Amino acid sequence: MKNLESTMAGTVFTVNVAVGEEVSVGQIVMVLESMKMEIPMEVEVAGKIATILAKEGDFVNEGDVLVTFE
């Protein structure tokens, strides 16, 4: 299983996927907001979303797992 980890600390602004959804490389699954900047979190591997560990409004730190894949 591959995970998508946060590349920086920030607040989850939007979640663009649902559990069970198939995603492709480069697809934006989540957008973080930090210091008034929006940072897209892109998928590095194609697959199916297994779990979403952060929801809109959550604060995350760099390295936190945001999404897991089957």
Report the pLDDT averaged over residues 37-54: 95
Report the pLDDT averaged over residues 29-53: 95
Nearest to 29 by CA among 57, 52, 58: 52
User: Domain range holding 55?
Assistant: 3-69
What's 57's domain CATH number?
A: 2.40.50.100
Q: What separation in angstroms does the CA of 3 have from each of 6, 35, 50?
A: 10, 25, 10
What is the length of the chain?
Answer: 70
pLDDT at residue 1 in the model:
54
Tens-digit pLDDT profile for residues 7-20? 999 999 999 999 99
For residue 30, the tally of other CB atoms under 10 A from its CB is: 24
The count of structural domains within the chain is: 1
Phi-psi category of residue 37: left, alpha or beta, with phi > 0 → left and psi -120 to 50 → alpha: beta
